[in-house]
Chains A and B, each alone.
Chain A
């Protein structure tokens, strides 16, 4: 496997480069211009086969699609400066405006072009971390100020970060870590060592201490007499020999996995910061807002409660801004603005989870891709139709695919007897009674069958069908010795059942 120098860092560097508008990368500019020439030609069908990027197969040059896609804006900006009078007030926003204006001049968005599609999908992928984290500047600033003050004063401290999943906590922590390193280098302080632990990977909760120790060069690991925790405590209780001691930045992700019944580990971890000669900065990340209050009461008494920074769920404007940031680096407009808006609105109303928003956008892209490919079969050599961007209906289809539960579809496609069983269950559990035996359900089932002159299935078949519905998660069956005494309850909402079966008049009358 060839050694690729820092695959994760190279795309970021190039993005940073374009932000600062450093002109350079002649080689990539050459590739860009010859690509653009080909794209401007009318026969779009040749593009995918003859660009130099595609013919490259070795992994080294595989990275170039990212570089190309990212560094195009440099030449785009140059061209804009040449073409128009170029008042670039703020590079980001005007780039978007000018790009839409120069759509005819610039490379067109062609959904059939695999390269473009790949670039857009990558820009929207969850794993691609953008260089600047937008909409979290406030929180990041607070955290980095805290870290800086600790490092300046050579004091230990603890911080607790909470928020729903998908709100950018781990991402911000990465940025803070880098910033702390950069700042320490600038300020001339010794660089702090960082220990980043994801607590789900620990087999025992006390392993976190050995992980922290493992990074500490001064301690000797092969000390069998005392546990890692005791070693750490002794380390922090004595004055250090070296005058300039390094600070240790500990980032504990998914901290609630450390909670045990006696809350010992969590306490000890935070108490490490209270020891007299402690030099660790502890940042804990979790989902629960009141973790500090609930699980660390002792710290309050010791007056060293951790600082709490809450990462709120994203609002509609924030989601929209983040999506636009990610897409602005590309030279073409793939999404209609109202499509992005409706995605942001729906996701922020549901959970405010950024991952979901990105997922929905990628799903909408795929719908567009399938549509574009479908039209290829009809017209293989025809000219490219007018810009097929992701419109509202693509986004709505993607939203319904993500947010709709499959229950309604499944109930509609169940065989008739199973639908009757579901119907009788809905009727049975309408009142206060929430579970019945199979025999009682069978009675209701027989009533419905009799009222509509359908031959009912026997009790064995009935029990089998109830088991099938249990497997699917529509009913819930308990275990009992006697088959007929097993208790049944409904797992699905009655409203869903009514909605699913409303087309069929027979069930509509039944459920009345």
Chain B
């Protein structure tokens, strides 16, 4: 099972280590540093690194490497999933997950890690339960603790641990009972030079924030559940009910959680809400290149596209760019060759465009690679797959909760080749 965990910052310092079995010398990380050096970029460090006596499995999040050490055959996905859970927990506890914050809260971090694994076996990884065991630090509690001498470690047996619904604590009480659901869809797409779609798929999630008193039992039904043929559920969802009736029936955890994630693949038609017209040309002899892109709406079901940001990694040969946007602001970093254009809203009457010239190295031949354009955008009140919630019902409790549902579509990895 998981032996040890090292947290390493991007400059290669180990700033926290935790061992669940015998202590593994931190020199084991030298193998990791070697791999890090070879990879040139942090994102490219391979997630599984063998060493003579151990295996190092790592994830890179928030500019921190979380490196787990294992000694025997352990499913690598198990380890990587666990590391992600550690990251999520830190974020949940401290709001952000960064080196200074972890250092500031090192004792809480240590206590939390101790509760998450026992001898390398996962013990409590649900944040609901962890928070019962070790209370997250808040300014108020710190003050109260210093005055009263109480601690931020709970002294109750975490009740959820053993019930049939281990994800929910008992005795939840709210004065305002509310349940919010966000349907968020991300479009991953590759568009080729001519504007036709190479691949397109939708990664959707339904995130919930449920603050309900007692033990509510919820059912959520959809207008068009047939869209959801590839889904992963939170453990609270009753799978049998879904299989037979296509209804989500569950006792929710308390607070925020991800109820469901789903995947609408390329075979189903995925609508592409934006198009990019581009003309990027280098000439062999001249040291000037021409650059022009225009962004416009395509299939948006009448909604506005907002938060549009266009980025593109320009070829190394491009020295500088002199561009004029019709709206928004743009930057070009001559060192990293990264072009970024913050467009904002797209007005269908007056399409935003960015035009100008690129100066190239004099005498150099024209670049081999074509820059890929990366697009970010948001569309409020639209689930691009067409998914719609039909109704939400609550059983088991008497009060009437306030219910809300929001839809949003975003660009995931949305790339346009030129």
A binds B: no
